[in-house]
Amino acid sequence: MQFGYTPEQEALRREVLAFIAEHVTPEVMQEKSAQDDFQRGPEAGDPFGPHMRELYRKIGERGWLGIAYPREYGGQGGDRISQYIVEEEFQRVGLNIGLSGSGAPAIMAAGTEEQKRYFIPKLISREFSFALGFTEPHAGADLASIRCRAVRDGDDYVINGQKIYTTSGHISTHIYLIARTDPSLPKREGLSIFLFPMDTPGITVRPLWSIQNNPRAPHGTTYGEARTNETFFDNVRVPKTALLGGENKGWKVAAAGLNLDRVGAFRYVMSIRRDEDIVNWIKETKLDGYADNPAVRDKVAELWIEAQVCRLMTMRSMSIVQRGRDFTYEGAAEKVWAPEHGVRTTEAITQMLGPYGQLLRGSPHAVEDGVFAHNVLGAFQSGVNHGGVQIMRDQVARRGLGMPAPRRKAASK
């Protein structure tokens, strides 16, 4: 049991902070904001502008990309905790340089040698990015009920169906798609995962507009910065080598990948960044009179303690990954606690800002470009996406505590 970092890891964090102070300039962040243009399509190609490309080159030079990935796949062969430290500090300034949510953990776990060599280095360097093609209009929490079909045809599969909430699908190079390959099998057993380029003929991406983006959410909004989409697949032909983890093995591959995607710096920082904000504003007297308000002090302390639990649960997950163990329920537990905490903080802040908390981006007197108003319109999404908190509680109870699955009606399959 060791709650501290090694001197080398502490030094790494200082080095990263110094790097960020020097190289993550306002120009870089302005360029990032501009590049977030919702209207861009896959035809725009390189998602980076010159400043961001240069920044990534420098980060790569330091050996900070894919630290815990093996060298043969473009990583550094280092430890998971060091990778976490680097990811956390970049995430704190709004740059997700990590690979959670990227598909990389699932490819490492289930991919062929060829797939690892093809995808991992380019995911690390950000040349490739995956959109997640899981949810369908009628199948969200009950993922195994998806209808999107992949039919074997010679050496190919032909895919037909619709996916929804394919976030960033319009600027992703590839998609990580789950489709039904055998409808005769029980619903979890006939699924497969496919990895293929978004410019494959037959794919149509259409934007979906969330309540958080009217007007466009400012930088730093929880879940508001990315555009989400619906994506249609019309006789999309992909080679059988697009299959990840074997035909009809999709459920297990998806579950393992999702578990690894749910933990790490991105989720952690997303959940706790506003805790620091409220404390620091109170200290900087941006919120007048609150430093001495006993109700506010009690609330702030309560939230801070909850945030520490977020941090420690993240550390627990990192410790498990670092030891090479699998989660039983710990990732799911973190995915319940952290998002719900983030929401509690978001809502508490609105009560501290009072009427100023309503003001959206562009409004006169908007606080920090309206980020808190936009947050309250979407922070709860963190309890919905990527495995909602109710599903996560099911997992804690059933996998972690061995509680029985609910009885199903005989008629349903």
Partner 1 sequence: MDVLLTDEQEMVRASARDFLEGECSPQLVRAMEVDPLGYPPELWRKAAELGWQGISLPEAYGGSGLPLVYLGLILQEVGRAVAPLPLHSTCVAALTVAEAGTKAQCEAVLPGVVAGEKILTWAFTDEDPRFQPEAVTMSAVGEGGEYVLSGRKMFVDNFVSADHCLVACRTAPARGSSAGLSLFLVDTKSDGISQTPLVTTAKDKQSEVVFDRVRVPAANLIGRVNEGWPIIERMLDRATALLCAQLLGATRKDAELAIEYAKMREAFDQPIGAFQSIQHMCADMIIWIDGGELLTYEALWRMDEGLPHRVEVSQAKAFCNEKCLASARNAQIIHGGIGFMMELDLHLWYRRVAAWTMRLGTTYEHRARVAEGLIDHPGRVVLGQPVPVAEASEEPQRDRYVA
Rule CB under 8 A: which residues touch partner 1?
A: 1-6, 9, 81, 272, 275-276, 279-288, 291, 294, 297-298, 300-302, 304-309, 311-313, 315-316, 318-320, 322-323, 329-330, 333, 336-337, 353-354, 356, 367-368, 390, 392-394, 396-398, 400-407
What Å distances lie between residue 318 and 7, 51, 79, 313, 396, CA to CA?
18, 31, 10, 9, 18
Q: Between residues 83 and 381, which has the closer beta carbon with respect to partner 1?
A: 83
CB closer to partner 1 out of 73 and 281: 281
Q: CB of residue 347 vs partner 1: minimum separation in angstroms?
A: 17
Q: Whose Cβ is closer to partner 1: residue 150's or residue 300's? A: 300
**Least Å distance between CB 410 and partner 1?**
13
The nearest distance, CB 325 to partner 1, in angstroms, is 9
Longest C-alpha distance within the chain, in Å? 72
C-alpha 242/C-alpha 232 separation (Å) is 18
Distance of closest approach, residue 365 Cβ to partner 1, in angstroms: 9
Q: What is the DSSP track for 350-405?
A: HHHHGGGGGPPTTSTT-GGGGHHHHHHTTGGGGGTTTS-HHHHHHHIIIIIT-PPP
Query: 186 or 402: whose CB is closer to partner 1?
Result: 402
Cβ proximity to partner 1: between 110 and 349 the closer is: 349
Residues 6+ apart with CB under 8 A from 185: 248
Pairing of strands 228-239, 203-208: antiparallel
Minimum CB distance to partner 1, residue 371 (Å):
12
Kindly list the distances between the CA atom of residue 66 and the CA atoms of 52, 74, 99, 102, 254, in Å, as whole numbers in the listed order. Answer: 17, 7, 7, 12, 21
Rounded Cα gap, residues 91 and 89, in angstroms: 5
CA separation for the pair 149, 155 (Å, rounded): 16
Q: How far is the CB of 153 from partner 1 (least distance, A)?
A: 41
124 versus 389: smaller Cβ distance to partner 1 = 389
Q: Give the span between the Cα atoms of 136 and 165, in whole angstroms.
A: 8
Smallest distance from partner 1 to CB 280, Å: 5
Whichever of 118 and 304 has its CB closer to partner 1, that residue is: 304
How many Å apart are CA 141 and CA 387, to the nearest integer?
7
CA distance linking residue 336 with residue 130, whole number of Å: 24
